[in-house]
């Protein structure tokens, strides 16, 4: 999932054209692959809970994982709607397309954060915990998260789509990006 986020961030500097379209498709494929992996993991864990007669979604890890999976199912819908090549919003207002794009990015961020939280929480579980190895793994996950956040903040500073009070949907800032398309 992080690779898909990074691929999207790299696209912020790419001008409109075939390279950007290829990049958006690559981003979609990476995120779809991440969602398939998450769904496979969810299925395995859920099936194991059923076999053992254990309750579901009782831990913070389980709830964070469920939230990441559900958000991971919703966020791509916004991406598909916002992707002009698919034409799903053809004939609709430009402002709507920009709002959908803004929402897709925010849902994607929430999905990624929930997934990272689920990973971090799993590493503390007694069935998984192996001492120093887990602490190192937690630090590596946190380091990777910090790197992605730093890259995202740089991308946002360059071409902001963040909403402001004067522009609650980020439409004015996004319109500048749209001109480049």
Find the domain containing 25 and state its range. Answer: 2-180
Tens digit of each residue's pLDDT (9 = 90 or more) over 7-50? 887 877 788 788 888 988 999 999 999 999 999 989 998 999 99
The CATH number linked to 124 is 1.20.120
pLDDT at 172: 45
Contact assessment for residue 28 and residue 78, using Cβ atoms and an 8 Å cutoff: no
pLDDT computed for residue 157 by the predictor:
63
pLDDT at residue 47 in the model:
95
Helix (H) or strand (E) holding 63: helix 60-82
Give just the sign of the alpha carbon dihedral 142, 148, 151, 154.
negative
Neighbours of 97 (CB within 10 A): 20
The pTM of the full predicted model, rounded to 2 decimals, is 0.74
Number of neighbours of residue 114 by Cβ within 10 angstroms = 20
Which pLDDT score, from 0 to 100, does residue 66 have?
94
What's the number of domains the chain is made of?
Answer: 1
CA distance 28 to 36: 12
Q: Take residue 4 and report the two structure tokens written for it.
A: 């898909």
Residues of the chain with pLDDT under 50: 160-181
Q: Note the pLDDT of residue 144.
A: 85
Distance in angstroms between the alpha carbons of the first and the last residue of the chain? 26
Do 10 and 23 touch, CB atoms closer than 8 A?
yes
Residue 162: CB partners within 8 Å, gap ≥ 6?
A: 156, 170, 173
Instruction: Determine the Cα–Cα distance for residues 93 and 81; give it in Å rounded to an integer.
Output: 13
Distance between CA atoms of residues 12 and 174, nearest Å: 12
62: three-class secondary structure by DSSP: helix
């Amino acid at each position: 999932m992080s690779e898909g986020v990074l691929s999207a961030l790299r696209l912020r500097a790419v001008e409109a054209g075939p390279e950007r379209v290829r990049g958006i498709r690559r981003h979609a494929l990476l995120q779809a692959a991440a969602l398939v992996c998450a769904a496979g993991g969810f299925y395995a864990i859920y099936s194991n809970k059923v076999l053992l007669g254990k309750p579901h979604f009782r831990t913070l890890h389980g709830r964070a994982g469920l939230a990441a999976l559900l958000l991971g199912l919703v966020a791509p819908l916004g991406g598909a709607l916002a992707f002009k090549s698919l034409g799903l919003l053809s004939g609709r207002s430009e402002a709507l397309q920009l709002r959908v794009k803004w929402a897709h990015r925010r849902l994607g961020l929430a999905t990624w954060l929930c997934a990272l939280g689920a990973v971090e929480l799993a590493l503390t579980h007694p069935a998984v915990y192996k001492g120093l190895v887990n602490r190192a793994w937690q630090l590596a996950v946190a380091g990777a998260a910090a790197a992605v956040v730093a890259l995202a903040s740089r991308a946002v500073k360059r071409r902001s789509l963040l909403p402001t009070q004067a522009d609650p949907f980020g439409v004015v800032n996004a319109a500048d990006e749209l001109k480049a398309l």
